[in-house]
A and B are shown apart, each in its own frame.
Chain A
């Protein structure tokens, strides 16, 4: 069975601090996809990144970076120089396909960035 664990329930940081959100996944599939979504108070899930199981190359996009390690089944997300606007709930998710199948979500990590 597929499972996503986000052990950090809540994280509080001060603006400009770096913060890493942890995600550990379980799957028996050899092909799978990992996602990170951001959920602001408005409720909409905002897509941040997806990775397929064959691409372990880490990625940096502006202040965001992702570290995918199959050996430890982890897909961690780092925000550099955090800002108040980064405050939201962040979800890691797993799917056996890029689209058209169910997304399995973790319980989310609530990030609070204070000024």
Chain B
């Protein structure tokens, strides 16, 4: 049983650029959530995808968007990057019906300069 994998592990972008982060969910999991973790803070919920549709969103602007694919993998897209977007982005997969909890990946460290 494979866990959650995220790519890339590190990324440096310039302010104003766009970025795409990728996540492969754990085998058997059909729901993917994305979290932003700023330095020294706890993870903040960005949004969740289930059956390829957004199914819950935290307090993040529309320039944060995502996709979920038929194989349950997911992408997080951030447009018009700002310096404050520098953070660790964590992906978590789960079963919508519960029972197994959440499994997190190791994250993508995004630095915006």
Contact = CB atoms under 8 A, between A and B. Distances in A.
Interface of A: 4, 35, 37, 42-47, 50, 91, 93, 97-108
A105 B42 contact: yes
Nearest to A91: B42
A100 B42 contact: no
A87 to B, nearest CB: 16
Nearest to B100: A99
B: interface residue count bin: 20 to 34
Contact of B50 (A46, A100, A102): A100
B76 interface: no
Interface string B84-100: 00001010101111111
Contacts, number: 74
Interface string B20-56: 0000000000010101000011111100101000011
Given A43-B109, A97-B98, A103 B45 contact: yes
B88 A103 contact: no
A100 B105 contact: no
B56 to A, nearest CB: 6
Contact of B104 (A44, A50, A97, A107): A44
Contact of B107 (A44, A100, A102, A106): A44
Contact of A98 (B55, B58, B98): B98
A107 B41 contact: yes
Name which of A37, A45, A105, A106 has the most chain B CB atoms within 10 A of its CB.
A45
